[in-house]
Amino acid sequence: MLVLAPVVIILVTGLSLGNIYGVDHEPGAYVVPMVDEDHGKVAHSIIAALEREPSLTLLRVDNLAEARAAIKRRERPPLAIVISAGTTRALEIGSQAKLVLYVDQVKRLEVSAIELRLDQLCSEITTRAQDLARQKIAQQVAATQFQVEQIREQIKQVQKAANDYRRQLTERRERAEVSINARVQRAIDELERQTRLGIERSTTEARSVLARETAPRRDALLEFSRY
């Protein structure tokens, strides 16, 4: 008995656990209530993956009360799954998302098998979400770089236009200065000419007046000298 008892126990336990972990279950062996509060891409992926499991039959219910009612039946399922609202959004922004399981502790072995499969599904979904997030980030980075290059090109064009405008403004100012200087010089020359002519006319007139005024005296002096 000391020799055979452990062998028999190991054999029976191995066969019992093999029905759960190693051997394929019969189709529809477990009925699992499912409450979808998320209605997002992640929830659809989980439901689609579980529906492909031959040993599971999903029972779609609208709320947790119906799921609890299904668990309390005579042929009660080992667990109920609730996909919380915001699960898809949480994965999209990089936060953690969790499934809520309501477990029947009496059927712990069946629950462990289903939990193992759920863990694999969650890992696959997380990996796929991370890949999609990386692709999205890479696309956003590429789009951002393209926009940055466009902005740089626009800045270069604006700078070139500003330099051209500054050059044209400088040339116009220089031409305007030359034109103004020429006009001022012509005005100064004309003013000098008119001033000189005015002085010459004034001098001529002063000489004429002086000659007229001094003529009688000069004649008187000549007469006096002759006398």
Q: How confident is the model at residue 24 (pLDDT cuts 50, 70, 90)?
A: very low
Other beta carbons within 10 Å of 32: 22
pLDDT in tens, 107-156: 777 777 777 777 777 777 777 767 776 777 788 888 888 888 888 888 88
pLDDT at residue 20 in the model: 46
Residue 33 and residue 47 in contact, taking contact as beta carbons nearer than 8 Å: no
| List of domains in the chain | 25-136 (3.40.1710.10)
pLDDT at residue 189 in the model: 85
20 vs 76, more confident: 76
pLDDT at residue 73 in the model: 67
pLDDT at residue 148 in the model: 87
Report the pLDDT averaged over residues 187-205.
84
User: Which of 103, 109, 126, 104 lies closest to 49 in space, CA to CA?
Assistant: 126
How far apart CA 78 and CA 20 sit, in angstroms, is 13
Highest average pLDDT, of 30-34, 117-121, 155-159, 207-211, comes from 155-159
pLDDT in tens, 148-183: 888 888 888 888 888 888 888 888 888 888 888 888
Q: How confident is the model at residue 100 (pLDDT cuts 50, 70, 90)?
A: confident
Whether pLDDT at 226 is above 80: no
**Which residues make Cβ contacts (< 8 Å) with residue 100, sequence separation at least 6?**
81, 82, 83, 84
Report the pLDDT averaged over residues 200-223.
77
Q: What global pTM score does this model have?
A: 0.45
Residue 30 and residue 56 in contact, taking contact as beta carbons nearer than 8 Å: yes
pLDDT at residue 8 in the model: 59
Residue 221: CA count within 13 A, CB half-sphere: 5
**Which residues make Cβ contacts (< 8 Å) with residue 37, sequence separation at least 6?**
82, 83, 84, 85
Q: How confident is the model at residue 83 (pLDDT cuts 50, 70, 90)?
A: confident
pLDDT at residue 12 in the model: 57
